[in-house]
Structure 1
Amino acid sequence: MTRTTGRRPTVALAAGALAIFGTLASDALAQAKPLKIGQLSDMSGIVRDLSGPGTNVAMTMAIEDFGGTVLGRPIQLLNGDHLNKPDVGLGMARKWYDEDVTAIFDIGITTVALGMQELSKNKDKLVIYLSTASSDLTGAKCSPNGIHWTYNNYSQALGVVNQLMKQKHDSWYFMTVDYGYGVNVERDTTAMVKKAGGTILGSTKHPFDTTDFSSDLLKSQASGAKVVALATTTAHAANIVKQADEFGIRPKQQLAALSLTLHDTKAMGLKTAQGLLETAPFYWDQNDQTRAFSKRYFDRFGKMPNMIQASAYGAVMHYLNAVKAAGTDDTAAVNKKMRETPINDFMTHNGSIRPDGRVMRQMYVFEVKKPEESKGEWDLYKQVAEIAPEDAFAPADPSVCPLAK
């Protein structure tokens, strides 16, 4: 009895010490300088569904799964809407970098992205592109501080070109959005078609803010091309497909929606989108790992993730693991660690970052199902081809990018 009574003060003191230690640790964490990262994206405009709020959800999930802290510091996620305007986007990014944001993710529109290459280098911070497609980011505009994470316009077009050329659809006409991204898509796709023995019969350009494509569709119809290639953004492509059906373009001519993504397909519906092709590194129903992540994401956001939103999770995880491994948020140290560490997550297997900033990953070609083939609301695609990393992306070119080796 005496021995038992004698232990009680010791136990009480230990419990009290633990409580005090826990409080102090909690207070220290609260007072620690946060590690700040940012998502800069179109949050309210024409391509918000490509990334936008959905990408923010995926980035938040990654931070939570990582534990919310790194190197004893809370992880803080900032979010900004660049409104698809370079001055707005670059002004916000400059302010963030000056306020100790270490890495900015996503970006999207090419005009903002190209400016981010210079800004991140000048500020010695990182930028990781998720929804930006321009291959110039690892070409003429490459930067040691930029990582092109998810895809690019070359990889996105390649699978579509390969499949259609196999089917002898060898004459092409382009409907191109009149800004940097569209120019890149038409340029790179033209080279692919010609290399495969096809011909280009013409092209038209439309403004970024247009919604009426009737004139361009009539010209593409008159060209007699077997393929009408849509070298434009995801939102434009969805509208063009709908209007093309009003003109009766299909089935006489094939539509190649070179920027198609899952949310476009869902918005159009299978009756309209059936038969279209998408090249992407991810589809939610590929395997048990993709389904497990996508179910968690759906429970949070009410939609299945597209390739951009899924890739955001892996990009944030890879960055935070690099900070942890480097033992610092110093840009050079973290950049080095990211580039020397293989990328492995539910959608990427042994991915790597080339010296020019291009993430090398497997790509897949998906065909939109016919309505009668679908077994549910989000059962939209079937996989028809696989493209190895070394084939999915154009080789690094030292004559264009001095970082290429």
Structure 2
Amino acid sequence: MFKISRDGVAKTTPARRLVLAGAMLLAGYLFTGAAGAQGSGPLKIGVLNDMSGVVVDLSGPGSVVAAKLAIEDFGGKVLGRSIELVEGDHLNKPDTGLTMARQWYDSGVRAVFDIGITTVALGMQDLAREKDRIVVYGSSASSDLTGKNCSPNGIHWTYNTYVQSLGAIKGALDAGGKSWYFITVDYSYGKNVQRDATAIIEAGGGKVIGSTTHPFTTTDFSSQLLQAQASKADVIALATTTAHAAAMIKQADEFGIRAKGQKLAALSLVLNDVKAMGLRSAQDLLTTEAFYWDQNDETRKFANRYKQRFNKMPNMIQASMYGAVSHYLKAVAAAGTDDTSAVLAKMKSTPINDFMTQSGTIREDGRVVRDFYIFRVKKPAESKNEWDLYTQVAKIPAAQAFPPADKQVCPLVK
């Protein structure tokens, strides 16, 4: 195939040149493939949510701040590559959100975080699988994300429509609330909340005697509240978004609903809603969350850093985005690649431990399982400062916080 010249330089025959050319092409292909899987520029990740609409305070720019803190604490680089964060506002519109996410994935974004509104979240499950990328849900609550719409590429990080209802429902049942009436936001999220909450109510011996819906865009709930009042139900369950629930509670007090003996069960309140309502309106309401800024030294340390950047204390969603981004970056470093399958495998096999979550796990259906807590909103006289809003009344162990993974509805469950 080849022979050595007198000066020691190899001379190739035509056949040898053909073999060498083929080998060089193969090597070039393998190198390009490896580089394409790993990437040579910045590692790109994105935060996509409602940055300007009705639930902007639930996550919004605050989630971006938390993600940036996570990147900074990681050192700003992974596998020798800088980490680039992109952010986007889906305006609570599925077409807008999914078009933006598709463009991000096509431009090299490896993982998208947060999301929010259910209609965008459910579409993201299919898109991430199609593009072989990762999506991690922070402010999306629909339990269908780990049920009939489960995906190997989606991780449901923070909470869902089941666990967020537990504390308020348990408190109202324990206080003698037997009959229930729902006011439900009229889209898929509200239907999920009502479905999951009804199961908890009935398991606890309660009975749902009626329901009504409200449009996502409304700010006037007088018609729905008057129907609920006329039902004579012991408890009016607010199966709606956090921002809607806060406004609804204030309007309910204008009608004297609580003063006349009916209880309100707000199934989706978080810290920023309580702050916006004020303790006079929110006092003694129960909320179920995985994080409160004043729980311990570690939560206070993070919260105070966050407040220096954003001038507000973080709620559960915003705090969880720090943990989600950190866990993803650790998985990339441990896997030695940004390849989707390798990173997902590492994320799911590694326990989650940070200021918010201890010994958390990711189930095969994509559900992050962790402890939750039931908090009571303080009375005005109990509060020592503007962010001193909660008292912890109970802990829900991880094993009790979520129903078991269901192989009847999610094919990922074996």
TM-score, normalised by the number of residues in structure 1: 0.92
Give me the whole-angstrom Cα distance separating, in 1, the residues matched to 2:41 and 2:125: 27
Give me the whole-angstrom Cα distance separating, in 1, the residues matched to 2:226 and 2:168: 23
Hey, what does 2:235 align to over in structure 1?
227
Give me the whole-angstrom Cα distance separating, in 2, the residues matched to 1:160 and 1:376: 25
Report the alpha carbon displacement of residue 332 of structure 1 after superposing the two structures with TM.
Answer: 0.1
1:128 matches 2:136: yes
1:312 matches 2:321: yes
Number of positions where the alignment pairs a residue of Structure 1 with one of Structure 2: 375
* Gaps in structure 1 of 5+ consecutive residues: 1-30
**Which whole-Å deviations, capped at 9, do the CAs of 1:56-95 have from their partners, x for residues lacking one?**
0000000000000000000000000000000000000000
Hey, what does 1:112 align to over in structure 2?
120
Hey, what does 2:100 align to over in structure 1?
92
* Amino acid corresponding to residue 167 of structure 1 in structure 2: A
Contact 1:35 / 1:102 at 8 angstroms: preserved in 2?
yes
Give me the whole-angstrom Cα distance separating, in 2, the residues matched to 1:163 and 1:112: 32
1:150 matches 2:158: yes
* Gaps in structure 2 of 5+ consecutive residues: 1-38
**Which whole-Å deviations, capped at 9, do the CAs of 1:234-283 have from their partners, x for residues lacking one?**
11101100000000001311111101010000000000110111100000
Give me the whole-angstrom Cα distance separating, in 2, the residues matched to 1:402 and 1:148: 16
Hey, what does 2:401 align to over in structure 1?
392
1:177 matches 2:185: yes
Give me the whole-angstrom Cα distance separating, in 2, the residues matched to 1:206 and 1:57: 32
Give me the whole-angstrom Cα distance separating, in 2, the residues matched to 1:367 and 1:403: 37
Hey, what does 1:256 align to over in structure 2?
265
- Correspondence list, 1:203-218, <5 A: 203-218=211-226
* Amino acid corresponding to residue 321 of structure 1 in structure 2: K
**Which whole-Å deviations, capped at 9, do the CAs of 1:279-309 have from their partners, x for residues lacking one?**
0000000001000100100111100000000
Report the alpha carbon displacement of residue 171 of structure 1 after superposing the two structures with TM.
Answer: 1.1
Report the alpha carbon displacement of residue 200 of structure 1 after superposing the two structures with TM.
Answer: 0.6
1:77 matches 2:102: no
Give me the whole-angstrom Cα distance separating, in 2, the residues matched to 1:195 and 1:404: 25
Worse overlay, 164-173 or 237-246: 164-173
Hey, what does 1:296 align to over in structure 2?
305
SS of aligned partner of 1:153: coil
Question: After the TM superposition, which parts of structure 1 deviate over 4 Å for at least 4 consecutive aligned residues?
Answer: none
Q: Give aligned-pair identity as a percent.
A: 67
Match of 1:372 among 367, 381, 387: 381
Give me the whole-angstrom Cα distance separating, in 1, the residues matched to 2:358 and 2:413: 23
Hey, what does 2:334 align to over in structure 1?
325
Give me the whole-angstrom Cα distance separating, in 1, the residues matched to 2:300 and 2:96: 37
Q: Which has the larger radius of gyration?
A: 2
**Which whole-Å deviations, capped at 9, do the CAs of 1:320-339 have from their partners, x for residues lacking one?**
00000000000000000000
Report the alpha carbon displacement of residue 32 of structure 1 after superposing the two structures with TM.
Answer: 5.0
Give me the whole-angstrom Cα distance separating, in 2, the residues matched to 1:32 and 1:177: 45
Give me the whole-angstrom Cα distance separating, in 2, the residues matched to 1:245 and 1:159: 21
Report the alpha carbon displacement of residue 390 of structure 1 after superposing the two structures with TM.
Answer: 1.3
* Amino acid corresponding to residue 173 of structure 1 in structure 2: Y
Hey, what does 1:10 align to over in structure 2?
none
Report the alpha carbon displacement of residue 168 of structure 1 after superposing the two structures with TM.
Answer: 1.4
SS of aligned partner of 1:80: strand
1:278 matches 2:287: yes
- Correspondence list, 1:10-89, <5 A: 32-89=40-97
Contact 1:36 / 1:100 at 8 angstroms: preserved in 2?
yes
1:347 matches 2:341: no
